[in-house]
Amino acid sequence: MNHDVLQDSSEGVMTLTLNRVDKKNAFTQEMYGLCADAMLAAADDPSVHALVLQGHETIFSAGNDIADFLQRAPSIDSAHAQVTRFLRGLVTFPKPLIGAVCGPAVGVGTTMLFHCDLVYAGDNAAFSMPFVNLGLCAEAASSLLAPQLMGYHRAAEALLLGEPIMVEAALEMGLVNRIVPPSEVSALARRQALKLAAKPLPALMQTKRLMKQGQAPALLAQMDEEGAAFARLLQSPHSKEAFSAFLEKRKPDFAKL
């Protein structure tokens, strides 16, 4: 039994809690698979009206597991089957999706939030997409959504320079709905989810569909293009150097390549 993602369903709300805190909630392929399965089940279950995605009060997620990146790089297709299911599930999830974020949200920890309908954050939250620093490129359609959501130049700072976005800036950009103390984030997300659970599901689903009208094909196409580039970059000496450097707790040296 894998406890790295905890799943709870009650009162019309499914909650997925990332629970690999010793590794900063870094996503393994198994965790992507668990989240994808739960989202599919939630989408089909008429008793679920809303889904909450949350981490720990100190860390939302450090993004993809870097050791997993290194180990699985040679078999790109199978390695990415689970992450692809998860990312596509985010785009097509038909019911309200709520992110509850405290602490660092790195890589996919940030890009998954672009697909949430509501995001509540702790005052310790910080968002970063350091793909380039790792020799990689944007994923989860963030190369399309980040410029749309925050404007091109701020997206370039976040995606090209990999600079973190502090929670106040994220609020100002409209990436989060509200900031509260970390100890209150989960309860706030649940309260909002329960409000949604009390509303008529067909009306919620139609409204979300209309607000997202037409976006899914473009997002899925962008994800495919990102996925192909990402897979090539995963094989590059630059990404291997960046992953090894992280695991060896040193700075990467790209100059030697």
Residues in touch with ligand COA (CB under 6 A):
23-24, 26, 62-67, 104, 106-107, 130-131, 134
Separation of alpha carbons 129 and 113, rounded Å: 12
In angstroms, give the least distance from the CB of 87 to ligand COA. Answer: 13
In angstroms, give the least distance from the CB of 253 to ligand COA. Answer: 17
Nearer to ligand COA, 104 or 122 (CB): 104
In angstroms, give the least distance from the CB of 70 to ligand COA. Answer: 10
Is residue 25 left, alpha or beta, with left meaning phi > 0 and alpha meaning psi from -120 to 50?
A: left
Residue owning tokens 């405290």? 102
Q: Using an 8 Å Cβ cutoff, are 55 and 6 in contact?
A: no
Q: Using an 8 Å Cβ cutoff, are 49 and 9 in contact?
A: no
In angstroms, give the least distance from the CB of 130 to ligand COA. Answer: 5
Separation of alpha carbons 229 and 216, rounded Å: 20
Q: Which single residue brings its beta carbon nearest to ligand COA?
A: 107
Helix, strand, or coil (residue 235): coil
**Which neighbouring-strand residues pair with 106?**
128
In angstroms, give the least distance from the CB of 18 to ligand COA. Answer: 12
Nearer to ligand COA, 106 or 144 (CB): 106
Nearer to ligand COA, 185 or 201 (CB): 185
Nearer to ligand COA, 90 or 197 (CB): 90
Nearer to ligand COA, 55 or 89 (CB): 55
Nearer to ligand COA, 12 or 104 (CB): 104
Question: The tokens of 137 are what?
Answer: 């490129």
Largest CA distance in the chain: 59
Separation of alpha carbons 68 and 243, rounded Å: 10
In angstroms, give the least distance from the CB of 198 to ligand COA. Answer: 36
